[in-house]
Chain A
Amino acid sequence: MAEEKVSRRDFLLYAMGGWAAVGLGGVLYAMYKTWEPLPEVKAAGIVRFDLSKVQPGQLKVVQWRGKPVFVLRRTPDMDKCDNRSIANEYTVVVGICTHLGCIPNWEPDKKIFKCPCHGGEFNACGVNIFGPPPRPLEIPPFKLEGTTIVLGETGPEYEKMMKG
């Protein structure tokens, strides 16, 4: 009889503990949510930029989530970029070297991006062509709305590019 009493008490104790754990889960969820970026931070994470403002051959730098984004309007004498080209003639890449995170410089005469830190080079498409960088420059998530590019949102063009 004593045995039975203990086991029944245990069952209720476990049920109570389990239910308390459910409540704790709810509290932890709310705590987790409070650490998410605030709405204004999220809103600032989406940047609109009118591509037509860039002249052929010109490079513009857009700030996006604290990083520089290079917008280059390519001319026919530059590399063809196939799957890395946006609206046929633009290169839009995060301007952070994939080696150790320095910011490469655009060298208009050679038509390459060159990293000042360890000499890595990327062509006009942002593809690594020399030096230590292991990967091409990253393409930020984007969406096209006419000639405006929305950085921080993903559109069909971006998804297609990521698949291919």
Chain B
Amino acid sequence: MKELKILAVLIVIVGVTYWGIEPLAHSIMHKHIEEAIHKYHLPDYEFSDLGSTPPLDGDPAKGKEAFQMFCASCHGLKADGIPAPMDPKTAAMSFGVVPPDLSNITSYTDKKFLFHFIKDPAKASEFKKIAMPAMGLQDEQIADIIAYLDSKAKKVHGEELFKEACGRCHGAKYQKIYAETPPDALKKYLGKVPPDLSIIMKAKGEHYLVAFINKPQALLPGTSMPRVGLNKEATEDLMKYLDEISDPHKEQRQKVGIIVLAYMLVMIGLTYAWKKKIWKNIH
């Protein structure tokens, strides 16, 4: 009985300390992040700060013409047989970053965001130095282009999605994925080489990443990460992928963990029985 009391005191002491250095400390340290998330209702897949969007019911055929006139000098669209106008290295040298191939862009980018992005890239991305200029297009032209892109786009998942959505600036070297834009070009363009994302999930956690990707400036003011307007589905797909690559042994760990704990429970039973036996005649 006395020993149980001591144990209870011990558990309280250890429990309070743990509570203080983990949940409490982290809630205080990450207060500004929670506040930002709360303030902007992150993740906001409506991108409501960008204002209203006209109906996006453009004509793909007209969109193709507009695409060739306004977009094709920098962007390729492999899905429709339009190659990138420059090789990645030259493109990175002239723009700072390799312009994306737009084949599947509408499958992972929110279309409303895309509309505002084409209208004013710097404003939508909240990144002043963004390489793409505002093209001065009419709303209808933009809607046509989006309709055209949408007619060609197919869903991409996991590694492919990662490469298309993040891979121009970020690598995941543990997966042998390297940023499409050479690091020195990125350093010039962004001020620093963007972090490798191999184990970013372990460092930042899903809660933070989802909000950060959705609105980088809200969580890390002054960051060189532009808002890229990933839609909900793509964000979730990407989180699943990042989690898998950062923690490939999760399933094994849980399985082995259960076995080890069950093993220890049996051991507790055995050692307790032996202790009882030996201590029977003591006291």
Contacts and interface: CB of A to CB of B under 8 A. Distances in A.
Interface of A: 5, 8-9, 12-13, 15-16, 19-20, 22-23, 26
Contact of B270 (A5, A8, A15, A26): A15
Interface of B: 260, 263, 266-267, 270-271, 273-274, 277-278
A16 B278 contact: no
Contacts of B278: 9
Given A8-B277, A16-B267, A22-B263, 13 more contacts: A5-B277, A9-B274, A9-B277, A12-B270, A12-B274, A12-B277, A13-B274, A16-B270, A16-B271, A19-B263, A19-B267, A26-B260, A26-B263
25 contacts: A5-B277, A8-B277, A9-B274, A9-B277, A9-B278, A12-B270, A12-B273, A12-B274, A12-B277, A13-B274, A15-B270, A16-B267, A16-B270, A16-B271, A16-B274, A19-B263, A19-B266, A19-B267, A19-B270, A20-B267, A22-B263, A23-B263, A23-B267, A26-B260, A26-B263
Chain B contact surface mostly: helix
B266 to A, nearest CB: 6
B54 to A, nearest CB: 52
Main secondary structure of the interface of A (DSSP, over half): helix
Nearest to B278: A9
A8 B273 CA distance: 11
A8 B277 CA distance: 8
Contacts of A16: 267, 270-271, 274
Nearest 4 Cβ contacts at the A-B interface: A12-B274, A16-B270, A9-B277, A12-B273
A20 B271 CA distance: 11
B71 to A, nearest CB: 40
Nearest to B277: A9
A22 B274 CA distance: 18
Contacts of B270: 12, 15-16, 19
A15 B274 CA distance: 10
Contacts of A26: 260, 263
A12 B270 CA distance: 7
Contacts of B273: 12
B274 to A, nearest CB: 4
Nearest to B259: A26
B73 to A, nearest CB: 40
B218 to A, nearest CB: 40
A132 B263 CA distance: 58
Contacts of B274: 9, 12-13, 16
A40 B17 CA distance: 43
Contacts of A20: 267
Contacts of B263: 19, 22-23, 26
Nearest to A13: B274
A20 B266 CA distance: 10
Nearest to A9: B277
Nearest to A12: B274
Contacts of A5: 277
Question: Which of A8, A9, A12, A19 has the most chain B CB within a 10 Å cutoff?
Answer: A12
Nearest to A40: B176
A74 B51 CA distance: 74
Nearest to A30: B256
A61 to B, nearest CB: 27
Contacts of B267: 16, 19-20, 23
Nearest to B267: A19
Contacts of A19: 263, 266-267, 270
Nearest to B263: A23
Contacts of A9: 274, 277-278
A7 to B, nearest CB: 11
Contacts of A22: 263
Contacts of A15: 270
